[in-house]
Amino acid sequence: MKRITIVLFSMTVMITAHAQTTNQNLKTSSTPALKPKLVVGIVIDQMRYDYIYRYWSKFGNDGFKRLIAEGYFCRNTNYNYVPTYTGPGHTSIYTGTTPAVHGIVANDWYNKTTGKDMYCAQDDNVNGVGTTTPEGKRSPANMLTTTITDELRLSTNMKSKVIGVALKDRSAILPAGHTANAAYWYDGSIGSFITSTYYMKELPAWVNDFNKKELAKKYLSQPWNTLLPIEQYTESLPDDNKYETIFKGETKPTFPHNLPETQKLNGGLNIIRATPFGNSLTKDFAIETIKSENMGKNTATDFLAVSFSSPDYIGHSYGPNSVEQEDDYIRLDKDLAELLSFIDAQIGKNNTLVFLTADHAAPEVPNYLTDLKIPSGYVHEKKILDTLKKELNKVYGDTLVLAFKNQQLFLNHKAIAEKKLSQVQVEGFICEFMQTMPNVSEVISANTMNNTQFTEGSRYLMQKGYNANRSGDVLVNYLPAYIDDYSPTGTTHGSPYSYDTHVPLIFYGWNIKQGSTADQIYITDLAATLAMMLNIQFPNGCTGKPISNLVK
């Protein structure tokens, strides 16, 4: 009997201990993980991955170097669709999906219903706040899915504060999402940050106070000269070369650029966009946003989406091998250092989750490659379109083409129906004809897009960027290093090739351990990763996957 009592007692102790352990485990597993007080998403417009390494010796220790030394660097991050433009890029970062799903198929596209171009952030149902110009008629209404910033707001019953900031309206509006507290962008006609009635009826007092400082005028009151002695810019071509665009009022594309004298001929205060001072103005406004809105001081996680637009304007004008672009990134490095230092003081590194990436990269200037005997050049789109229309008129008695935009042909469906033609056959005829055009790599019809599943290569990327309601009837891809002939100087972007798709991606701050990976990562994985970190829903159209090394 005594032995039985001892056994029963031992069993009771074991069961009790097991129950306590189980309860403790349940209690531990059900305890929500601590979240950052603030998320800061930094997108650099037209940043090539290799710029980090090219300009490394010129960077200080507190900007790009700090992010990499203390953060997690995803070195093989690519866009998984085309076209690689600003609007689709920012949208894909924050929605975790591609234009096929989120619907922002380009910066602007041909609207099949109205027969007019549609701008990605255009909204004629709202008005500007802080401006009377059309620049204020903007909202995220054309975006078809939620963003990670929307999901953050929804997860906290709208307690999280979300604000987008950029010089470009689309770069502020689309990342901030449908439910944002605010998005602010720059109106160069008045030199001020503005918003629209989508968000509010009048600008907050702090925005008005910021605008009254007229910082754009102050930045433009000085010539743009190199920050370092110009002979130190050894990572670039000579300052005076034929591959760069010349500001109106200048005779050469060389330093110093006399901004006080030339700004009247180059868009007035809008010229700041094409200088590094546009980044500094954005940084100033971002810091003021955090400070004046008390971001990171709330009970719920806040989110600031900030985009630096000036590198894109500078790249379009001068190209990736210019002293101008090198100077731009050296100065941007200092702006990032100031922003990070402010975050340290205001919220704390361990309370702030930062990520930095780009909306697309950029190719070399084709004329420069041609001079080096590398296959490259320009596609004369108007000539191709005129030739195609003549051929269609000869065969069908009608040109049948309404528009050629974003390397996509939009056909006249009404005319095709009235002539009792087969849409599929017309698309097929155009595909065969376009394939014979100079420097064309691939041509795909809408019918093929809708009935074939591609799994790799350029056609896969074209399909990921294809939205049946907004994309064209025939999609065209050019050979590598060939771009449309919009300008013989500077560069552009939009292709499925690595020089346009490969971008940096760095995570830093809250719960981020130092490291790097060369694993293949798609830009759509970013939003999925943030969702897992924040323990919230994925954006409702998300097709990306969390980056495993960051969410273990």
Last residue of a domain, one of 452, 480, 508: 480
- Percent of the chain whose predicted confidence (pLDDT) is above 90: 93
- Give domain status of residue 195, yes or no: yes
* Cis, bond preceding 83 (omega within 30 deg of 0): yes
Whether residue 489 has pLDDT greater than 60: yes
Last residue of a domain, one of 423, 454, 480: 480
pTM: 0.93
Number of domains composing the chain:
2
pLDDT at 552: 81
Mean per-residue pLDDT, 496-517 = 98
Rounded distance between C-alpha atoms, residue 511 and residue 352, angstroms: 9
Cα dihedral 228/168/356/549 (nearest 10): -160
pLDDT for residue 36:
97
Structural element, H or E, at residue 476: strand 474-478
- Count of Cβ atoms closer than 10 Å to residue 258 Cβ: 15
Model confidence band, residue 479 (pLDDT cutoffs 50, 70, 90): very high
Instruction: Give me the chain's average pLDDT, please.
Output: 94
Lowest mean pLDDT across 21-35, 277-291, 351-365, 502-516 = 21-35
Mean pLDDT of 151-156: 98
Q: Where are the beta strands (DSSP E) in 95-169?
A: 108-110, 117-119, 128-129, 162-166
Same domain, 229 and 294: yes
209 and 75 within one domain = yes
The verdict on residue 125 lying in a domain is yes
Domain of 444 in residue numbering reads as: 377-480
Mean pLDDT value of segment 272-287: 98
Residues 511 and 402 in one domain: no
DSSP track, 248-269: TT-SSS-S-B-HHHHGGGGTGG
Query: Model confidence over 24-79: pLDDT tens digits?
Result: 433 333 443 489 999 999 999 999 999 999 999 999 999 999 999 999 999 999 99
Same domain, 238 and 128: yes
Q: Are 63 and 44 in contact (CB under 8 A)?
A: no
pLDDT band, residue 14 (cuts 50/70/90): very low
Active-site option among 86, 91, 226, 448: 86
Is position 27 within any domain?
A: no
- Mind listing the pLDDT tens digit for each residue in 292-308? 999 999 999 999 999 99
Is 357 known to be catalytic?
A: no
User: What pLDDT was estimated at residue 31?
Assistant: 42
Give the angle 454-455-459 at the CA atoms, nearest 5°: 50
Beta strands in 70-225 (DSSP E): 72-74, 77-78, 108-110, 117-119, 128-129, 162-166, 182-187, 192-196
Domain boundary among 421, 454, 480: 480
Please indicate, yes or no, whether residues 172 and 256 belong to a single structural domain of this protein.
Answer: yes
**The domain that contains 253 carries what CATH number?**
3.40.720.10
Distance of CA 389 to the CA centre of its chain: 35
- Is residue 470, in this structure, part of any structural domain at all? yes
In this structure, the answer to whether residues 352 and 408 fall within a common structural domain is no
Examine the domain organization and report whether 163 and 298 are in the same domain.
yes
